[in-house]
């Protein structure tokens, strides 16, 4: 998975998890399926679990086809790739104007939401309970990205920050980007 796709996914969560109309909780956890389809129609499908807490803590646990953890506090991105036995650290340096995105989020006739931001359209679907069900967009490489959530559990209390950090095995190689 490209780092850019991970950063875009994180930006999407910060964008939509705080939108007042979407009534997002302080925290949630869910199973997910992320499908990425390239312009040449090559498709890759990831599955796993995602946790969100407060306004900036996010943890993706990829299970298939590769085992990987991706954690962020909004300032630093940590990727633990268990197949490669490496840990990568990245500073999130590209500014993200959350308020600009939220101002542009509009409810569509079909009940979903759409936000235009930085020349991209993001489509958000809610389930029958008004909970986040999916996000779709085209990334910077013109891949079609669709993330679907299932088993969504909302919480009115944040998760402990320690549970939102990636486990860093001592014997893995470390990369700083």
DSSP for 116-174 reads EETTEEEEEEE-TTS-EEEEEEE-TT--EEEEEEEEEEEESSPPPGGGGSPP--TTSEE
The CB density around residue 140, as the number of other CB atoms within 10 Å, is 13
What would the mean pLDDT of 7-28 be, rounded to a whole number?
59
pLDDT at 17 over 90: no
**Strand, helix or coil at 9?**
helix
Cα–Cα dist 24/119, whole Å: 25
Cα–Cα dist 133/109, whole Å: 17
Cα–Cα dist 35/102, whole Å: 25
For residue 114, the model assigns a pLDDT of: 84
Cα–Cα dist 40/144, whole Å: 11
For residue 136, the model assigns a pLDDT of: 87
Close Cβ partners of 82 (under 8 Å, ≥ 6 residues apart): 66, 67, 68, 69
Q: What is the CATH code for 3-176?
A: 2.50.20.10
Q: pLDDT confidence of 103, banded at 50, 70, 90?
A: low
pLDDT at 55 over 70: no
Cα–Cα dist 36/59, whole Å: 19
Cα–Cα dist 37/162, whole Å: 34
CB contact at 8 A, 137 and 120 = yes
pLDDT at 163 over 50: yes
Close Cβ partners of 168 (under 8 Å, ≥ 6 residues apart): 78, 80, 87
**Whose CA is closest to 12, among 124, 112, 131?**
124
pLDDT at 104 over 80: no
Mean of per-residue pLDDT scores for the chain? 82
pLDDT at 165 over 50: yes
pLDDT at 87 over 90: yes
Residue with the bigger pLDDT between 21 and 59: it is 59
Q: pLDDT confidence of 18, banded at 50, 70, 90?
A: very low
pLDDT at 14 over 80: no
For residue 54, the model assigns a pLDDT of: 77
Q: pLDDT confidence of 11, banded at 50, 70, 90?
A: low
Which H or E element spans position 96? none
């Amino acid at each position: 998975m490209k780092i850019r796709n991970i950063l875009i996914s994180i930006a999407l969560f910060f964008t939509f998890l705080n939108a007042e109309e979407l009534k997002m909780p302080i925290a949630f956890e869910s199973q997910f399926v992320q499908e990425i389809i390239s312009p040449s129609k090559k498709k890759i499908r990831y599955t796993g679990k995602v946790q969100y807490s407060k306004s900036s803590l996010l943890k993706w646990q990829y299970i298939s086809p590769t085992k990987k953890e991706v954690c962020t506090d909004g300032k630093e991105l940590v990727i633990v790739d268990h197949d490669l036995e490496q840990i990568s650290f990245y500073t999130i340096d590209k500014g993200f104007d959350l308020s600009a995105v939220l101002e542009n989020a509009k409810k569509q006739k079909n009940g979903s939401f759409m936000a235009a931001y930085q020349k991209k359209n993001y489509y958000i679907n809610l389930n029958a309970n008004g909970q986040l069900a999916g996000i779709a967009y085209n990334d910077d490489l013109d891949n079609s990205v669709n993330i679907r959530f299932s088993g969504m559990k909302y919480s009115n209390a944040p998760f402990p920050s320690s549970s939102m950090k990636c486990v860093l095995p001592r014997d893995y190689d470390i990369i700083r980007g």
